[in-house]
A and B are shown apart, each in its own frame.
Chain A
Amino acid sequence: MNLSISLSPTGWQLLAAGLQLIGGLLLAPLLPGTIQHWKGRLQGRRGPSPIQPYRELRRLWGKSAVSIEGTTAVYRLAPVVAAAALGTAVLLVPITARAPGWGVGHDALALAGLLALARFAVAASCWDVANGFALMGASRDLTISVFVEATMVLAIGVAALATGSTDLGVMIAGTAGAGAWSDPMLALGGVAFAIVVIAETGRQPIDNPDTHLELTMIHEGPLLEYAGRDLAYLQWAMAARHWVVLVLAAQVFLPHPSSVQGQLVLLPFALLLLCGLLALTETTVAKMRVLRVPRLLAGGALVALLGITVGLTRLA
């Protein structure tokens, strides 16, 4: 049943597992950094350097955290739990078809649970500090997440139908090569997953990560009451969220080779391509009204459902 046990771990696989850990835990902040950098370029500015997130993390690590009057352990634990959930998610998402497990399995639906845990921790902390702006952000984030979860599970369903498993390793192997693209179902699933990526990374047109206006915040709002290392954890968790969904998008919903070596070599380029696409969307598309967002996501869910229907008609 467990892929990682039945295969003998070769050098490539160990390398893949190591790179998964290094990439997810250490290199993840490069992804939002690159997007911000390119976005600046596209908008005719010089833009911050791609390593700007690291500078921010270093600055935050040196500062003291704040403590809000009247809060409980929920406020103190929220950043830690969010970062731990994302850390576990990084362990769970393999970067190639064959990678030894880290003891947490490789299941796509388990990933949804971990992302929900991080969301719960952060939203609960907003109630603890009782900050109106934070709660506004949290209530919007949760509203959107209802539709994100449905769309994400359907997109996973498309990939599972195409590959026969919700094991992410099997999914990466099953969607490799040109054969998987012979029918449109994977492409339709990819469209749905693209919307999930935008929602999970908190990018335009769903959320504006650059906003400084509290009333428009979604993902930034709940962070308002945090500083120092707490904030560093939360920012790292956001970067890890970029890593997890972009790796999935690259290795399942973008064309990729079937050999482990090829997958490893092409992954950075695929991630850069996706970062470029996100920067381009952020530059060209305006932010939507918050209440319009569920409609966009529901559209994504319908596209995924269409993908499943297409797949089933071929099967029948």
Chain B
Amino acid sequence: MLTALRTTDVFCDPGADHSSRAPAQVGDGVISTVLLVGLGMIAGGGVIGAGRRSMTAGLAVQAIGAGLLGLAGFWVLLSGGMIGQPFGSGLTPRFGVDGLSGVFLGALGLVAAPALVFSQRYLHPGRSGRAITALTAVFLLVLALVLCARDPFTFLLGWEAMTLLPAAVILVHRNGDDPARRTVFTYLAITHLGGVGTWVAVLLLAHAGAFGAAVTPGAGTATGTGTAIGTGTAIGTGSGLQLAIALAALFGMGTKAGVMPLHVWLPRAHPIAPAPVSALMSGVMIKVAIYGLVRVLVDWLGVLPVWFGVLVLALGALSAVGGVVYALFQHELKRLLALHSIENIGIILLGLAACLILRAEGAAGWAAFALGAALLHTVNHAVFKALLFLGAGAFERATGSLHLDRLGGLLRQMPWTGSAFLIGAMAIAGLPPLNGFASEWVTLQALLRLPGYGNVLDGVAGAVALAALAATAGLALTCFVKVVGLVLLGPPRARDAEHGPVREAAAPMVAGMAFLAGVCVLLGVAPGLLFGALTRLAPWLQAAPAASSSGASAVVAIGLHLPGTGGLPTAGIAVALVAAVAALSLARGRRTAAPAPTWACGQQVDARLNWTSAGFTKPLRLVLEVVLRPKRRITVRTVGGVTQDVTYRGHVPQLIDEQIYRPMAARSIAVAARARRLQTGSLGTYVAYLIGLVVLLLGAARIGVIR
């Protein structure tokens, strides 16, 4: 009975044709042309946009270019082929696009095109606006460069430029003010420290000649655990080199992706960028880091040991729960959204970890589904997070504030922006029938398979991760009920007096957000459009043609029908929900009594009775007190024994910042201060150092340490 979860991993109809997976010959030229035209238009748009009068036109050209890029990406993914050159470890620059690059290029286009349309009215056509337009174009080209790079050198070049450009945008946007400079310093410091990991991983791979080690059918059969599948790389399974590369990549690319505890730069840097660039950073840039991780861990390194998968699982669970818990206690909208990016990166890592573990356990089919889950959530998160960031930008423009307790009532004042934002919030909260639900459902299913295949320990780890993901979904729901309530609903709260009346966002801004909201619905109703192609990206399915039809046969429809589940006919659920809502609305009729104020025990309802962000999350703060250690200070001012006023201040400190990074920074500054004493500036001391060094070297040569 207990083995049943294993036996569900069936792969029927081995006779299904694999012709779709062969490199698509027809249309290669067309795709390449579309891709190159897209890149050219982005570059051209950047140049045009830098002009004095032509920022809007430049952004429009860029948007079309980004759209073409996305189109080409999804085209490559769905056709199952590849264009351009394959990977190589040499020094000559090589460029190409395969299915995995295609997913991320597609997400790039899906996010960038509406964000650029949005920018047409969001950016002021002044100097900084034009500079940002030009920088955005370069940023997009650099992101595409990382995705299309086929040699280690170009990859690293793009990777570094990808880190630097947002820093430039932030500084231009904020006019180089003090907090911005400090944030940019933290951002660059941490991502560069982390970047070391990427360099080490990529250079080791290149050194071993395994940068893009193509998985050739039959090249490497199962080794290691005996059940493991599809190792086709030059690096031995379980070898020290493989583990070193895997750990370095996890560290380096994990930092860039914002994985806890390497995330500290993310909630600082994302909120202060202009909204469309925040959307690109959260929607695409950190996804490119995920691209790197998938490339190295899934595509190139072959089968990793189970404990490495469990490590990724732990980091994913930590990021998911930690990200959403800290997001809950934020009172600034963009910072809250940035912390949610950490949560979603965690969910993506959970899927990726499930893939790694299942692959090591020999469950080929479910490992591919887990990979599909991670990639589907990557695309979904890019879409809804971009939508939410754009919405936040629109609200900031309209009200002059992003403080949650100063917004409110915006659904009535900005119905279009508000509705699109509501859809994005429901999608990120993982509610059916939107896209977040579909990918979280597959991720949950993949985690549920871990107890079925693994041994006791990683089975239990999988079950804990399952509970963590479920709790994350609950926490995200709570958080976005709060956001929707405070931003969109209820009475308008304390607004800046000098800010004018709130108006609906301009048409291009609304168009950008409406497009993204539409994609949220589309991918929620028909996730199968992408999911099948995403599971087919698993290299072990390409290596072993017998099992390769699994993805195709299991995911034929637009819904998700996986073996061993009840299936998720997303379209059916959506139709049932919409039909029921329509029928019940009709049955209810329109009869209502005269409007009445909210009931508050007979009191007059006034602004002091409004609930705040802190108030709504108080029960959770109390429940999680032991872990979070919130700080609060209450000051009571009494005059002559009569209390005049009571002030309350409370905040939830970021424990990882306070407990790990702050002591570390303090210690390194202390060490640096001590080291500076060596540098006295007097010539005599330096000569003494030299003599000491020579003596030391001679002594070392004498005892034979140096030859």
Contacts and interface: CB of A to CB of B under 8 A. Distances in A.
Interface stretch (A8-16, A148-156, A259-267, A274-282): A148-156
B593 A64 contact: yes
B591 interface: yes
Nearest to A145: B474
B448 A120 contact: no
Contacts of B617: 139
A167 interface: yes
A84 B463 CA distance: 31
Interface in A29-53: none
A127 B576 CA distance: 27
B37 interface: no
The binding surface of chain A is classed by DSSP as helix
Interface stretch (B64-72, B174-182, B361-369, B454-462): B454-462
A123 interface: yes
A108 B567 CA distance: 9
B478 interface: yes
Interface in A190-217: 214
Interface string B204-215: 000000000000
Interface stretch (B132-140, B142-150, B437-445, B530-538): B437-445
A24 interface: no
A244 interface: no
A149 B324 CA distance: 15
B581 A132 contact: no
Given A72-B412, A113-B432, A127-B486, A66 B593 contact: yes
A68 B595 contact: yes
Chain B: number of interface residues, binned into ranges: 35 or more
The binding surface of chain B is classed by DSSP as helix
A107 to B, nearest CB: 3
A54 to B, nearest CB: 17
B558 to A, nearest CB: 13
A104 B573 contact: yes
Given A126-B485, A149-B470, A164-B564, A120 B577 contact: no
B20 interface: no
Contact of B565 (A129, A161, A166): A166
Contacts of A315: 2-3, 456
Given A110-B568, A140-B619, A142-B474, A124 B481 contact: yes
Interface stretch (B51-59, B259-267, B348-356, B582-590): B582-590
B576 A88 contact: yes
B554 interface: yes
Interface in B563-577: 563-569, 572-573, 575-577
B448 A67 contact: no
19 contacts: A3-B566, A64-B591, A67-B594, A80-B584, A84-B580, A88-B573, A91-B576, A104-B569, A105-B573, A110-B432, A116-B474, A117-B577, A124-B485, A127-B486, A128-B489, A133-B600, A162-B1, A225-B598, A312-B455
Interface of A: 1-3, 64-70, 72-74, 77, 80-81, 83-85, 87-88, 91, 102-110, 112-114, 116-117, 119-120, 123-124, 126-133, 135, 138-140, 142-143, 145-154, 157, 160-170, 174, 179-180, 214, 224-225, 227-230, 233, 290-291, 294, 301, 305, 308-309, 311-316
Given A83-B584, A113-B430, 19 more contacts: A1-B562, A67-B592, A68-B595, A70-B490, A74-B489, A80-B585, A109-B445, A116-B430, A124-B484, A124-B485, A130-B611, A145-B474, A147-B471, A153-B470, A165-B564, A166-B564, A167-B567, A229-B588, A309-B460
A-B pairs with lowest CB-CB distance, top 7: A164-B4, A127-B485, A107-B566, A84-B580, A146-B474, A167-B566, A153-B470
